[in-house]
Structure 1
Amino acid sequence: ESLHTHNSEKISSQISYDVLESASPRSTDKVDLKEGSETTSKYSLFKNWPLMSSIIVYCVFSLHDMAYTEIFSLWAVSPRRLGGLSYSTQDVGVVLAISGVGLLVFQSSLYPLVERIIGPIMVSRIAGIVSIPLLTSYHYIGMLSGIALSILLNCASLVKNVLSISIVTGLFILQNRAVEQHQRGAANGIAMTLMSLFKAAGPAGGGALFSWAEKRQEAGFLPGNQMVFFILNIIEVVGVLMTFKPFLVERRR
């Protein structure tokens, strides 16, 4: 009887081991399938042209925005003899604070309405087009003084920042619409990584450009800060052109 019991235990343990052994490859297969599907999913994101085109346009506008942010502060605090405004850092802070309040109001109330009416691509395109003459006017705003300068500069800064955030928000919407919901985390990760590279180049490029422009105050073609805003406009024009087909396309639902 004891031999029979031991044999039964051996047989049952052997069966349990066989079951576990046979189940193990299946679980491994499931893990392999999951990893394979994740790799395929990431690979398919790079082949998703509506996503990648919106990310590329987003990177171009991010480069422009960071360069503009750097240049605006440098231009505002630089002396009048070099084409600046001779503002103090406190004055620049006030201008940026007013722009920030305007952004908060616009983003929370007006942007959703505008986006529903004309769509994210048109919002980004129109905002980019309007930014071009606005940037051109900065040189002439700098020729003013007193209360006229303060009012126009605050208005220009507010409008420019509203236009910039409208472009970025529209492109964010396009990126998230270009992929399925389960892919949005990976898609946003790719966008943030590439955007960070362009944003890192923005301040360095903007500072170098402004320093170079200050040395050519007597140049015959676009002297001083005119060259700065001209180059910013070139980047803006490139971004606007990219918002047209066949480059930027919206995913069909």
Structure 2
Amino acid sequence: LERKTLSCSNAIKSPDANSNVSHIQKSYGAINHYNSDSEDSHYSDLSKQPFDRSGNPKMKGNSRDAEEEFLEDMSVASLTNDLEVKSDEQKIVSTFNIPSAAWTSIVSYAILSFHAIFMEEIYTLYTVTAVQFGGLGFHATKLALSLTIMGGVQLTSQFIIFPWITCRVNMLKLYHICWFTYIPVYLLFPLINKLEIYLSKNEVKWSETIVWYSLLPVLTVRYFLGVCTFTPVMIFINNSTSSDTLGTVNGIGQTLASFVRSIGPAFGGFLWSWSLTNNRNFPFDNFFVFIVLSIAAFIGWLHSLSLPRDVNKSDNLDDDEVILLGE
């Protein structure tokens, strides 16, 4: 106690004591346990304790016991503050301890982002390319109309259909199903071109209308699958880690997704041009890029099977607030 008293007295009388006055006042503003019924008990409300110009507390009496209690509590408050600082430093270091479930979710998000931007690039080229070269021969107006309709499909799927499904189906199972469904959907796009060629050769009336209404359902399923995969994977990323590392995990996920999105369009455009100019038969004709998309979807489906079941619930909630999504 004497050593604590001496060290704290020196701290108060040091040249930097004036800068510590406000800190001492704040530290002792919360200490109100010196309640005494005696006349000399002037420590009952230390938040109002006056200080002189040198930073020393003004004592009304010469009670050495009161001074010792005062200095002892000051040392305890200082020790508590040091422990809080060390605790904050430990939290900062722990942000780099990313669990394996988070890495699995991040990679799944990257695969999804790559194949999605790949398809966005291919769809634009596919629809405006002439029919004899493997496209649909759309004008810019018709292309824009199809994308506008898909915007409405996405909004409806996101705010109405997806919440309804996840109340009845486990979200992780839904994620697996949607990944696998991508595979046949992508293979249907080049078949629409074959349908256009067949209708044109046979001079079928309303051939353009038939092709249009054949494309819309396939495109609708494709965009619906996008809602049912992007939304869950973002939830899985958030559920796969604690709040201490959540910012780091999201930052890594967005960085990796941005990287694959930067190379996806160039890669897709290159493959589409190559498939139209190589003069080769199936599967290296206009089917080739859609086969590559189906392979990417198959890889994404296989990887999604490695996601642990724990990503379907939030670790950022208390034990009595855990919610299993879709159960």
Q: How does the TM-score come out when normalised to structure 2?
A: 0.66
Please give the residue correspondences for 1:128-167 in structure 2 after superposition, counting only pairs within 5 Å: 128-143=179-194, 144=196, 145-167=207-229
* Higher Cα Rg, which structure: 2
Distance 1:225 1:32, change over 3 A: farther
Match of 1:222 among 283, 287, 312: 283
Query: Once structures 1 and 2 are overlaid, which stretch shifts more, 62-71 or 160-169?
Result: 160-169
Please give the residue correspondences for 1:1-253 in structure 2 after superposition, counting only pairs within 5 Å: 13-14=13-14, 17=17, 20=20, 30-31=84-85, 33-41=87-95, 43-45=96-98, 48-143=99-194, 144=196, 145-216=207-278, 218-244=279-305, 247-251=306-310
Distance 1:14 1:102, change over 3 A: same
Cα deviation, residue 250, structure 1? 3.0
Q: What letter is aligned with 1:139?
A: P
Unaligned runs of 5+ in 1: 1-9
Cα deviation, residue 155, structure 1? 1.5
**How many equivalent pairs are there?**
238
Q: What letter is aligned with 1:17?
A: A
Cα deviation, residue 199, structure 1? 1.1
Q: What letter is aligned with 1:121?
A: L
Cα deviation, residue 31, structure 1? 4.5
Cα deviation, residue 171, structure 1? 0.8
Contact 1:61 1:239 in 2 (8 A): yes
Q: What letter is aligned with 1:235?
A: A
Unaligned runs of 5+ in 2: 1-9, 24-74, 197-206, 316-327
* Residue aligning to 1:5: none
RMSD of aligned residue pairs (Cα, Å)? 2.8
Q: What letter is aligned with 2:97?
A: S
Contact 1:58 1:168 in 2 (8 A): yes
Provide, for residues 147-193 of structure 1, a one-character-per-residue CA deviation record: whole Å limited to 9, x for no partner: 11111111111110110221111111111111234543332222111
Distance 1:200 1:31, change over 3 A: farther
Larger relative contact order, structure 1 or 2 (CA cutoff 8 Å, min sep 6): 1
Question: Could you say which structure has the higher helix fraction?
Answer: 1
* Residue aligning to 2:53: none
Cα deviation, residue 56, structure 1? 0.4
